[in-house]
Chains A and B, each alone.
Chain A
Amino acid sequence: MGYLFMAYTIIWALLAGYIFVLGKRQKDLKKELKVLEDWKSEQ
């Protein structure tokens, strides 16, 4: 039972980790896009 728990913990941790990385990339890009849009509207 311990091995089963260990395996599924690793599976969910890695999947959640990758989804978190994707989410962070998107968040950072949205921030950059906002800065560029603000700059454009100021011009």
Chain B
Amino acid sequence: MKQPSAFVDRMLYILLVPAMFVSLYLIFIWSPIEKQMGASQKIFYFHVSTAWVAFLAFFVVGYYCVLMLKRPTEDRFIKAGISAEIGVVFTTITLLTGMIWGKSAWNTWWTWEPRLVTVLILLFIYIAYLFVRKMEGTWEKIAKLSAVFGIIGCINVPIVFMAIRWWNTKLHPVVFGEGKNQSGGGVEPDMLVTLLFCIGTITLLYLFMMRKGIEIEKMRLTVRKAKSRVIEKLAS
């Protein structure tokens, strides 16, 4: 009989592959071309989706880090680490696609605007978090120290989201909800369908990567334990 986790992985894979193709169809063929920006506007769908998944990933890190401060376990440590890694990958994608968007819309690769700066800080916090996890020392000490970094990063997530609302930037549009002197809800219904579908697809990709990553890290744990048993046996 197949294991339930293998079944879930298979189901995720079966859902993910067609969802990815449908997303690409919706982006490049089905959704209309925006009048002002032209085809470059289509960057928006994956840009927003990857940003959403990065936020989700860092919330997951924050959740496991809080639990780890209470009681560190190897399972929590692994889940927080993998989620942080995926978060870093997706934040990098968000930043790079944002830069390309900026070049096509504002004619500049980078500007010291609140949203961009807060995202960059978020990325640095999680890179630091991943480095802290690799430090030498007792496992429990590292788990607790890295948990502090994870929680600081998680606190930064709502700041990133609210940055364009609090500091009233003119460059980054508020798409959902109201901002100072800016009205939200500026997405056409066809574009909104594409965007929501892409968010769903990238979330599935996150779940798939998360499960694969956890499986690999648990395998690493098994190998490490087996190695230490071999060393003990050889020493005796």
In the bound assembly, the distance between CA atoms of A29 and B191 in angstroms comes to: 43
B92 proximal to A (CB < 8 A): yes
List residues of A (1-43) whose CB comes within 8 Å of B's CBs.
1, 3-4, 6-8, 10-11, 14-15, 18-19, 22, 25-26, 29-30, 32-33, 36, 39
The one of A1, A15, A30 in contact with B89, judged by C-beta atoms closer than 8 angstroms, is A15
B100 at the A interface (CB under 8 A)? yes
A13 to B38, CA, bound (A): 24
Bound form: Cα–Cα A40–B170 in Å: 66
Contact status B104-A3, CB under 8 Å = yes
In Å, the complex CA distance between A40 and B155 comes to 48
- Say yes or no: A33-B223 contact (C-beta < 8 A), given A6-B100, A7-B100, A11-B93: yes
Nearest Cβ in chain B — how far from A39, in angstroms? 7
B17 within 8 Å of A (CB atoms): no
Cβ-defined partner of A11 (8 Å) among B46, B104, B222? B46
Query: Is the beta-carbon distance between B216 and A7 smaller than 8 angstroms?
Result: no
Contact B227 A29, beta carbon cutoff 8 Å: no
A32-B216 Cα distance, complex, nearest whole Å: 13
B201-217 vs A, Cβ < 8 Å mask (1 yes, 0 no): 00001000100110110
Known contacts A10-B100, A22-B212; decide if A4 and B40 are in contact (CB<8 Å).
yes
Does the CB pair A33–B216 fall under 8 Å? no
Nearest neighbor of B104 in chain A, beta-carbon distance: A3
- Per the 8 Å Cβ criterion, residues 216-236 of B in contact with A are 216, 219-220, 222-223, 226-227, 230
B43 at the interface (CB under 8 A from A): yes
10 closest residue pairs by CB, A with B: A3-B104, A7-B43, A7-B100, A3-B40, A7-B97, A18-B89, A29-B219, A36-B226, A4-B39, A32-B223
Residues in chain A within 8 A of chain B (CB atoms): 1, 3-4, 6-8, 10-11, 14-15, 18-19, 22, 25-26, 29-30, 32-33, 36, 39
